[in-house]
Amino acid sequence: MAPKKSKKSKKEESMIDFVEEEVTGDVDEDDFEEAQEQEIELTDEKLQELLEKYEASKSAATKTKDDFKHLPKSQRGKALKKALRKDKRSRQEERSKIREELGESAPQKEVPKTIESMREYDATMVDEQDDEVEHDEANDEFAPYFNRETSPKVMITMTPKAKITTFKFCFELQKCIPNSEMFTRKNVLLKTIIEQAKEREFTDLLVVHEDRKKPNGIIFCHLPEGPTAYFKINSLTFTQDLKKFGESTAHFPEVILNNFNTRLGHNIARMLACLFPHDPKFTGRRVVTFHNQRDYIFFRHHRYEFKKEGTKAALLELGPRFTLRLKWLQKGTFDAKWGEFEWVLKRHEMETSRRRFFL
């Protein structure tokens, strides 16, 4: 069978005719310029049409509750969500096709509207180059660590008469934090423990609290001058409860502190950084991450592995996995009676908006 001839548009046929005339030497320069202008005009019309189609796809009609009145009430919500997801996916596919046709003329992608991107302005947000912040951080309680004058040495303890789950969490923390030692609390007062830790030259003290036989909070006291912070523990998952996990090594980990944007957030990030040694051992490929999102600090402990000759990397979680929520920050070492609080979370007074964050 003879191959079918492909159909050509009028514009392609006219341009072929002009090319043939140019080869034979019979081309008319005025006619060729007129054809070029016509092609540019057609291109501009097509461009405008595609841009209008792109904008129209954003405001395309979607499904509503009235479209599912024929279903039982228990099924309407699920059906509506499914239909909305399908409509959204189809609009995205349509816009991506139009962007491919437009090429370089495609409009810029809009920034997704999330709670983080619509965050309320906070006067304490820190700029990249802020002389005042740099001066304060050069003279605060954490400056000796960042100036390499001290090396981290961490004491981990718990509440009196702690249960086995709390001991297990303390062992997990000891596994994550190098140069850390765990001690049973017994009935010793916290102020006495702080003085003993100072005498033994510990730089930080972690006290794990429990409620209903499970860890529910942790006091972080930086020594010898403070500050002291209390975090609530949420969503605790031990290493053995993870679907896939690896064994931790003795290598010093890399530390990632992400999304701490305010003055308070900077203080908390510096406090967390003081737990770990200065120089990570990259051969161990261990990474400890503190990721702040909506004032919840997510803790993760991974080892990264290179694959396909270093072109790709995979993460293997080492555990544990938990989330911290800052409740208060106090100047100096722990003092429940006379301590001066720098910041206290009062939910009913401070959480007036879902888009207001403090870290």
Contact assessment for residue 316 and residue 303, using Cβ atoms and an 8 Å cutoff: yes
Q: Is residue 111 part of a domain?
A: no
pLDDT of residue 17: 53
Q: In terms of domains, do 274 and 320 share one?
A: yes
Q: What is the mean pLDDT of the chain?
A: 84
pLDDT of residue 13: 55
Q: In terms of domains, do 95 and 164 share one?
A: no
- Coil, strand, or helix at residue 230? strand
CA dihedral of 171, 174, 176, 179, whole degrees rounded to 10: -170
Q: In terms of domains, do 77 and 157 share one?
A: no
DSSP 125: B
Q: In terms of domains, do 222 and 341 share one?
A: yes
pLDDT of residue 33: 56
Q: Is residue 335 part of a domain?
A: yes
Q: In terms of domains, do 92 and 207 share one?
A: no
- 253 has pLDDT over 90: yes
Tokens of residue 106, six digits: 């495609």
* Total tally of structural domains belonging to the chain: 2
- 117 has pLDDT over 60: yes
Q: Is residue 359 part of a domain?
A: no
Q: Which pTM value belongs to this model?
A: 0.75
Q: In terms of domains, do 146 and 229 share one?
A: yes
Distance CA 253, CA 173 (A): 13
Tokens of residue 298, six digits: 């997510």
Percent of the chain exceeding pLDDT 70 equals 88
Task: Taking residues 135-145, report their average pLDDT.
Answer: 90
Q: What is the extent of the structural domain holding 51?
A: 21-105
Residue 241 is which amino acid?
A: D
Lowest mean pLDDT among 48-57, 69-78, 150-159, 261-270: 48-57
- 4 has pLDDT over 60: no
Q: In terms of domains, do 76 and 205 share one?
A: no
State pLDDT tens for residues 33-45: 555 554 444 477 7
Q: In terms of domains, do 168 and 35 share one?
A: no
State pLDDT tens for residues 174-228: 999 999 999 998 889 999 999 999 999 999 999 999 998 999 999 999 999 989 9
pLDDT of residue 39: 47
Q: How many residues does the chain have?
A: 359
pLDDT band of 50, cuts 50, 70, 90: confident
Q: Is residue 10 part of a domain?
A: no
Q: In terms of domains, do 99 and 171 share one?
A: no
Q: Is residue 112 part of a domain?
A: no
pLDDT band of 267, cuts 50, 70, 90: very high
- Coil, strand, or helix at residue 234? strand
Q: In terms of domains, do 57 and 202 share one?
A: no
φ, ψ of residue 74 in degrees (nearest 5): -70, -20
The CATH code of the domain that includes 321 is: 3.40.50.10480
- 15 has pLDDT over 70: no
Contact assessment for residue 299 and residue 321, using Cβ atoms and an 8 Å cutoff: yes
Q: Is residue 9 part of a domain?
A: no
pLDDT of residue 11: 47
Q: Is residue 11 part of a domain?
A: no
Contact assessment for residue 237 and residue 318, using Cβ atoms and an 8 Å cutoff: no
Q: Is residue 342 part of a domain?
A: yes
- Among residues 270, 302, 272, the alpha carbon closest in space to that of 287 is found at 302
Q: In terms of domains, do 248 and 164 share one?
A: yes
CA distances from 151 to 154, 274, 346 (A): 10, 9, 35
pLDDT of residue 41: 45
Tokens of residue 32, six digits: 């060729």
pLDDT band of 58, cuts 50, 70, 90: confident
Q: In terms of domains, do 146 and 75 share one?
A: no
Distance CA 144, CA 135 (A): 14
Task: Taking residues 1-23, report their average pLDDT.
Answer: 49
Angle (deg, nearest 10), helices 73-102 and 29-58:
160
- Judged by phi (left if over 0) then psi (alpha if -120 to 50, else beta), residue 295 lies in left
Q: Compare 308 and 188 and report the one with higher pLDDT.
A: 188
Contact assessment for residue 119 and residue 357, using Cβ atoms and an 8 Å cutoff: yes
Lowest mean pLDDT among 184-188, 286-290, 319-323, 351-355: 351-355
